[in-house]
Amino acid sequence: VLSTVAKAVAASVRDFIYPPLCFVCEAPTVVADRRVCDECWSSFRPVSVDDPVWVELRDRFGRDGAVSGFLSCYVFEKEGRLQDVIHLLKYRGIKSIGTMLGREIGRRMLEDPTFVGVDYLLPVPLHALKQRERGYNQSEFLCRGIGEVTAIPMLVDVVRRSRYTESQTQLSLDERRENVRGAFEISPKFKPSLEGRTVILVDDVITTGSTITACARELKIAGVEKVVAASVALAP
Ligand SMILES: [Zn+2]
């Protein structure tokens, strides 16, 4: 008991001398385990359904037909604070940010009829090499946060990258489609549990939707009834 008290005292002395700082703007944060302050958190630009970036993706998914609906919380802005936050999640190992962002997605799902009756959350996979290098897949932490709010279970390793794809950031829409064609496969052991199900593909940022579409096509071939998608942000 004494050591617990001593640790708590030591922690509050430390927080007094070195107050925890927001990882993005470096302002002191009140809550010690929150890595991003409320001001940064509320600076992200919410997506609205008349946003051109939302409309464009809806039309693209609609024309293709593999993805039946999607949900995103924010618009990704270059040099914006959300970019810093996603960078912390992907490249600095701050996994708790993924869970927090996932809870945001989950809260929106509860209010969206597209997401009623969904069976599983599926994180969009990284290539095995990239995951080994990074040590984790950030989308799994998003799924954990979504699961906390919605109680939808996550299935890991259902979708795999069957080949390494180059970074898509410099590619056009057609090049992206070509780049991810045949890049995903469904693990055979999951096929019985996917038959006739509805699943959500979860990714951090959706840009053209070509990765999500390529995964959705494979899932449908494997017997999935309906594929919907969710992401933290949409990038123009
Ligand atoms: Zn901040």
Local confidence band at 164 (pLDDT 50, 70, 90 cut-offs):
low
Per-residue model confidence (pLDDT) at position 35: 81
Specify the long-range contacts of residues 46-50, CB closer than 8 Å, at least 24 apart: 46/73, 46/74, 46/75, 47/72, 47/73, 47/74, 47/75, 47/233, 47/234
Please report, as a single letter, which amino acid is at residue 136. Y
- What is the C-alpha separation between 194 and 13, in angstroms, rounded? 52
Are 236 and 80 in contact, with CB atoms under 8 Å apart? no
C-alpha 36 to ligand 1 mean position (Å): 5
Name the residue with higher pLDDT: 74 or 178. 74
Please tell me the distance from the alpha carbon of residue 234 to that of residue 198, in angstroms, as a whole number: 22
141 CA to centre of ligand 1 in angstroms? 21
Q: What is the pLDDT of residue 213?
A: 96
Looking at the DSSP bridge assignments, the partners of residue 160 are 185
Q: How far does residue 234's CA lie from ligand 1's centre (Å)? A: 21
Tokens of 118: 């969904």
Tokens 């951090």: give the residue: 204
pLDDT in tens, 101-152: 999 999 999 999 999 999 999 999 988 888 889 999 999 999 999 999 999 9
Cα 198 to ligand 1 centre (Å): 37
Q: Are 89 and 216 in contact (CB under 8 A)?
A: no
Average pLDDT over residues 85-109: 95
Query: pLDDT higher for 207 or 8?
Result: 207
Tens-digit pLDDT profile for residues 56-80: 999 999 999 999 999 999 999 988 9
Q: Count Cα neighbours of 134 within 13 Å in the Cβ-side half-sphere.
A: 21
Q: How far away, in angstroms, is 134 Cα from ligand 1 center?
A: 25
Per-residue pLDDT, 19: 72
pLDDT, position 174 = 79
Of 29-33, 134-138, 156-160, 221-225, give the lowest mean pLDDT range. Answer: 29-33
Contacts of 45 (CB under 8 A, 6+ apart): 74, 75, 77, 80, 82
In DSSP notation, 182-221 reads T-EEE-GGGHHHHTT-EEEEEEEEESSSHHHHHHHHHHHH
Strands (E), the chain: 45-46, 69-75, 120-123, 159-161, 184-186, 198-206, 226-234
| Ligand 1 centroid – CA 26 distance (Å) | 6
pLDDT tens per residue, range 8-62: 887 777 666 777 888 899 888 766 667 888 899 999 999 998 999 999 999 999 9
**pLDDT at res. 5:** 81
Full-model pTM: 0.87
User: Ligand 1 centre from 100 Cα, in Å?
Assistant: 15
